[in-house]
Amino acid sequence: MIETAVRQAIKSLNDVRQHFGLVWAVDELFFEEWSCELPELSDRDIAKLDQLRDRLDYHLDSGKVDEGIVNVLVVSPLLEMAGLYDSPFRIRSEVPVVIESQVQQENLRGRIDFLVIHNQLWRGIIESKETTFDVNTAIPQALAYMAGVDTKLPTYGLVTNGVSFVFLKVVQGETKRFDLSDVIARRSRTNSLYQVLQILKSIASQIQVP
């Protein structure tokens, strides 16, 4: 069996279709978790998110911010605020994985930046990049990890470079389907981290549903 690095084999949505049979969902309600009835934030949440925005802006003023610093300044605090570090969730980082491809005699090898586990099952995947990295180019790789999960439950994903955020959802069955949120740009007139945290909280509540 040949093993190929995910980043080499998966560079487009067409590659994801070829290797995993993943198709775009046509139902507008398929991924409503990112846009409908989002939970309200507390004053404490808002103050913390403003601090995160200002802190990253400070570092961005000196140039690009690498992936490790994006995780420290943005990703890790957001996961904590969403409750994903606490029961009933478990977080794993830098998780090496080999996922089965539909391409004959080929499996894909990669590493997941953050893996959210609930009831011993993969339920969330977070991929982070440096701030100069186009977040859209990370989507196919994240979808590959999500499509490779053997579960009938929805799997959620987030790709971010600290400046832009995209949420993903994959549901497996007779057909593997996916959908994406809009790109949420942190550099807007209002602090877009508010919406990012709301979506994370919404997804966390969905994951806990049996």
- At 145-194, the pLDDT tens digits run 999 888 889 999 999 999 999 999 999 988 899 999 999 987 667 899 99
Confidence of residue 2 (pLDDT cuts 50, 70, 90): confident
Query: Pairing state of beta strands 176-180 and 164-171?
Result: antiparallel
Q: Please tell me the distance from the alpha carbon of residue 50 to that of residue 55, in angstroms, as a whole number.
A: 9
Phi and psi torsions of 2, nearest 5°: -80, 135
Mean pLDDT of the chain: 92
The residue assigned the tokens 């957001």 is 78
- Write down the CATH number for the domain with range 2-207: 3.90.1570
Tokens representing 91? 């977080």
